[in-house]
Amino acid sequence: MHLWTALTHDQRISDLQAILSMDEQKRARRFRRASDSRQFVFAHALVRLALSHHLAVPASDWHFDRDSKGKPVIAAPEMFSAVEFSLSHTNGLVACLITLSAEAAVDVEKVKYTHDLALVAHQIFSPTEQRTLSVLSAKDWTERFFDYWTLKEAVAKARGLGLALPLSDISFELDAGNWIRADFACAADDDPSVWIFWRNHPQSQHAMSLAVKRDFDDECEIIQRLVKFDGARIIAVTQSRHIEPGKRATSQLRRRVTA
């Protein structure tokens, strides 16, 4: 799993616009706020540049479409149609996940408290999540809210369901060691044990979560790169890796814990 991220404050977009398609450039101009237009350009340029890092295709030559569920897919070059990507952006941060897994997604959000968050939590969080939030306050409450939110959004995006998946049917339990346990209601029609969940806080002002449905037996390596834009290029600033055990290792661990 290759997770590409970039902080967008104080970055220039002039050189990046040229690698976007004509349709993407038109969509960028439709935003009313200049900040939203900038985030759109950064995000779609990052997808193109990250894909071109892995595959020998010029950044401007990628063509995208949407599948029957509305998920973005590679339309051309057709030989790379099996490569999956997920894109997310928020104020100050863009992220792109590149993988061969059919159901995988990333979601990022700016961690910022607003008065309507409590109402949102009541509507879309499970009773377990609401009980956890009820004993938190201030900064801890806000951070946990966005941990839950980004994890739920990542699952919905990975499945290609978006808002059609009731987010209250997915419940998460978290601890300080980045341990994540998920429960799905019957209506969600899925098995949480076949999913890999991961979360991170790129600096303290953003929440980022990843959801991957395990369609492989091997371990899952998440390679996270923080990059900066240099003209129409990306330059690595930092790189880190996280390993999730394979199915067999996970099953053996569960048996040992049960025993």
Backbone angles phi, psi at 3, to 5 degrees: -110, 115
Regarding whether 12 and 94 lie in a shared domain, the answer is: yes
pTM: 0.90
Regarding whether 15 and 86 lie in a shared domain, the answer is: yes
Hey, what are 56's tokens? 């020998």
Regarding whether 154 and 190 lie in a shared domain, the answer is: yes
The single residue listed with the structure tokens 């569920």 is 69
Backbone angles phi, psi at 24, to 5 degrees: -65, -40
248 pLDDT higher than 60: no
Regarding whether 143 and 77 lie in a shared domain, the answer is: no
pLDDT tens digit string along 18-75? 999 999 999 999 999 999 999 999 999 999 999 999 999 999 999 999 988 888 999 9
Rounded Cα distance, 248 and 226, in Å: 31
Regarding whether 118 and 155 lie in a shared domain, the answer is: yes
Helix (H, G, I), strand (E, B) or coil at 11: coil
Is residue 234 classed exposed, middle or buried when 0-12, 13-18 and 19+ CB atoms within 10 A define those classes? Answer: buried
Regarding whether 222 and 160 lie in a shared domain, the answer is: no
Q: How confident is the model at residue 247 (pLDDT cuts 50, 70, 90)?
A: low
Residue 199 lies in a domain: no
Rounded-to-10 torsion of CA 162, 167, 169, 173: 120
Q: Domain total for the chain? A: 2
Rounded Cα distance, 215 and 104, in Å: 10
Residue 207 lies in a domain: no
Is residue 138 classed exposed, middle or buried when 0-12, 13-18 and 19+ CB atoms within 10 A define those classes? Answer: exposed
Regarding whether 88 and 29 lie in a shared domain, the answer is: yes
Hey, what are 81's tokens? 């149609």
Regarding whether 52 and 93 lie in a shared domain, the answer is: yes
Strands of 206-213's sheet in order across: 104-110, 206-213, 195-200
Residue 74 lies in a domain: yes
Tell me the DSSP string of 107-132. EEEE----TTHHHHHHHHS-HHHHHH
Residue 208 lies in a domain: no
Residue 205 lies in a domain: no
Regarding whether 136 and 96 lie in a shared domain, the answer is: no
Residue 253 lies in a domain: yes
Average pLDDT, the chain: 89
Regarding whether 143 and 47 lie in a shared domain, the answer is: no
Q: What residues contact 69, with CB distance under 8 A and at least 6 apart? A: 160, 161
Residue 54 lies in a domain: yes
CATH at residue 158: 3.90.470.20
The CA–CA distances, whole Å, from 1 to 47, 130, 162, 218 equal 14, 31, 21, 12
pLDDT (mean) for 184-191: 80
Task: Provide the percentage of residues in the chain whose pLDDT is more than 90.
Answer: 71
Angle subtended by helix axes 117-124 and 138-158, to nearest 10: 50
Q: Which domain holds residue 167?
A: 111-194
pLDDT tens digit string along 98-128? 999 989 999 999 999 999 999 999 999 999 9
Hey, what are 204's tokens? 């303290």
Which residues, in sequence order, are bridge partners of residue 4?
A: 96, 225
Residue 152 lies in a domain: yes
257 pLDDT higher than 60: no
Regarding whether 253 and 169 lie in a shared domain, the answer is: no
pLDDT tens digit string along 124-144? 999 999 999 999 999 999 999
The single residue listed with the structure tokens 């008065």 is 115
Regarding whether 33 and 67 lie in a shared domain, the answer is: yes
Q: What residues contact 213, with CB distance under 8 A and at least 6 apart? A: 101, 102, 103, 104, 158, 159, 194, 195, 196
Q: How confident is the model at residue 3 (pLDDT cuts 50, 70, 90)?
A: very high
